[in-house]
């Protein structure tokens, strides 16, 4: 942990697995996203992986440990597949199977299928609220944000119905995200506006 991010500030239960998952995520961010600095990395931790985990914990029935752990691992989750045998020993089969689902592999069992849906929703919500909603300026990541939103809009109807409270939040976030990105496009000034014709 760092002075900017401390597990005790997350509001999550102080279980060894949850704390370890945040440590792994934070280490990944410090290694791969250090250009943003510790303060912005700490903000990302709270706004995305921690926010996603807390939604599962607070807004779903019978939340599972494996879904909360995978949410807390954030962008570091896929690294666990580099040594799958060791990861299964450290984190358990359900955590690894959930992560493998992100790489396109089918998932077995109603519990893990339910977890996969919840993870998509809460991670999508956290991303929209942190990266899309209320976005004001165009930057080089603008097309990526559109790709994210298009993917969320396309996938959501297939998953809707299992988590009513989160579904309602998700639908509102989709609308707010689209409004923000469309407004940026509408207000963007061309780099080289056409010159007015010369008058004789």
Residues 110-137: tens digit of each pLDDT: 999 999 999 999 999 999 999 999 999 9
The answer to whether residue 49 is domain-embedded is yes
Is residue 199 in a domain?
Answer: no
Q: What is the pLDDT of residue 106?
A: 85
Question: In this structure, is residue 192 part of a structural domain?
Answer: no
Is residue 121, in this structure, part of any structural domain at all?
A: yes
User: Of all helices (H) and strands (E), which one includes residue 139?
Assistant: none
pLDDT of residue 10: 94
Residue 200 belongs to a domain: no
Separation between Cα atoms, residue 55 and residue 119, nearest integer Å: 10
Contacts of 146 (CB under 8 A, 6+ apart): 181
Domain contains 194:
no
- Backbone φ and ψ for 12, nearest 5 degrees, come out as -85, 155
Q: Would you say residue 48 lies in a domain?
A: yes
pLDDT at 2: 65
**Parts of the chain with a pLDDT under 70:** 1-2, 190-200
- Print burial letters for 51-81: b (CB count within 10 Å at least 16), e (below 16): bbbbbbbebbeebbbbbbbbbbbbebbebbe
DSSP 114-136: HHHHHHHHHHHHHHIIIIITT--
Does any domain span residue 1? Answer: no
**How far does Cα 171 stand from its chain's mean position?**
16
Q: What is the pLDDT of residue 51?
A: 95
3-state helix, strand, coil in the chain (%, to 5): 75, 0, 25
50: its two tokens: 């921690």
The pLDDT assigned to 197 comes to 61
Number of folded domains that form the chain: 1
Q: What range does the domain containing 34 cover?
A: 7-187
């Amino acid at each position: 942990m760092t002075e900017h991010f401390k597990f005790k500030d997350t509001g999550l239960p102080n279980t060894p697995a949850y704390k370890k998952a945040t440590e792994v995520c934070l280490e990944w961010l410090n290694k791969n996203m250090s250009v943003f600095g510790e303060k912005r990395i700490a903000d990302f931790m709270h706004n995305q992986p921690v926010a996603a985990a807390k939604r599962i914990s607070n807004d779903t029935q019978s939340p599972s440990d494996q879904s909360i752990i995978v949410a807390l691992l954030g962008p570091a989750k896929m690294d666990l597949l580099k040594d799958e045998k060791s990861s299964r020993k450290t984190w358990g089969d359900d955590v690894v199977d959930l992560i493998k689902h992100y790489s396109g592999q089918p998932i077995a069992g109603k519990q893990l299928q339910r977890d996969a849906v919840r993870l998509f929703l809460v991670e999508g919500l956290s991303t929209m609220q942190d990266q899309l909603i209320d976005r004001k300026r165009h930057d080089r990541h603008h097309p990526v944000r559109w790709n994210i939103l298009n993917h969320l809009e396309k996938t959501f109807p297939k998953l809707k119905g299992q988590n009513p409270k989160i579904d309602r939040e998700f639908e509102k976030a989709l609308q707010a995200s689209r409004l923000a990105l469309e407004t940026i496009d509408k207000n963007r000034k061309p780099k080289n506006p056409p010159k007015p014709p010369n008058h004789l």
